[in-house]
A = this chain, B = another copy of it.
Amino acid sequence: MENFSFYSPTCFVFGRDTENEAGAYVKRFGGSKVLIHYGGGSVVRSGLLDRVKESLEKEGISYSLLGGVKPNPRSGLVYEGIELCKKEGIDFVLAVGGGSVIDSSKAIAAGTLYDGDFWDFYQGKHIEKALPVGTVLTIAAAGSEGSGDSVITKEEGMYKRGAGSDAIRPKFSILNPALTETLPAYQTAAGITDIMAHLYERYLTNSAEVEVTDRLIEGLLLTMIHEGPRVIADPHNYEARANIMWAGTVAHNNICGVGRSQDWNSHNIEHELSALYDCAHGAGLAVTMPAVFTYQMNHNVMRFAQVATRVWGCQMDFAHPEITAKAGIEAFRSFLISLGMPKNLEELGGKEEDIPKLVEVLCHGDGRKGTISGFVTLDETDCEKIYRMML
Give residues in A with beta carbon < 8 Å to B. Answer: 1-16, 18, 177, 208-212, 215-216, 218-220, 222-223, 226-227, 238-239, 242-243, 246-247, 250, 255, 258-259
Contact = CB atoms under 8 A, between A and B. Distances in A.
Contact of A223 (B8, B9, B211, B226): B211
A242 B219 contact: no
* Minimum-distance CB pairs A-B, first 9: A3-B15, A215-B219, A9-B9, A219-B219, A1-B242, A209-B239, A7-B11, A6-B12, A212-B223
A255 B255 contact: yes
Contacts of A223: 211-212, 215
Contacts of A15: 1-4, 259
A107 to B, nearest CB: 24
Contacts of A208: 239
A215 B11 CA distance: 22
A331 B208 CA distance: 28
Contact of A212 (B8, B9, B246, B259): B246
A170 to B, nearest CB: 12
A10 B11 CA distance: 12
25 contacts: A1-B238, A2-B15, A3-B15, A4-B15, A5-B12, A7-B9, A7-B10, A7-B11, A9-B9, A14-B259, A208-B239, A209-B239, A209-B243, A210-B243, A211-B223, A211-B227, A211-B243, A212-B219, A212-B220, A212-B243, A215-B223, A216-B220, A218-B219, A246-B258, A255-B255
Nearest to A226: B211
Contacts of A227: 211
A7 B2 contact: no
A299 B237 CA distance: 27
B5 A8 contact: no
A9 to B, nearest CB: 4
Given A6-B12, A218-B219, A219-B219, A1 B239 contact: yes
A179 to B, nearest CB: 14
A246 B259 contact: yes
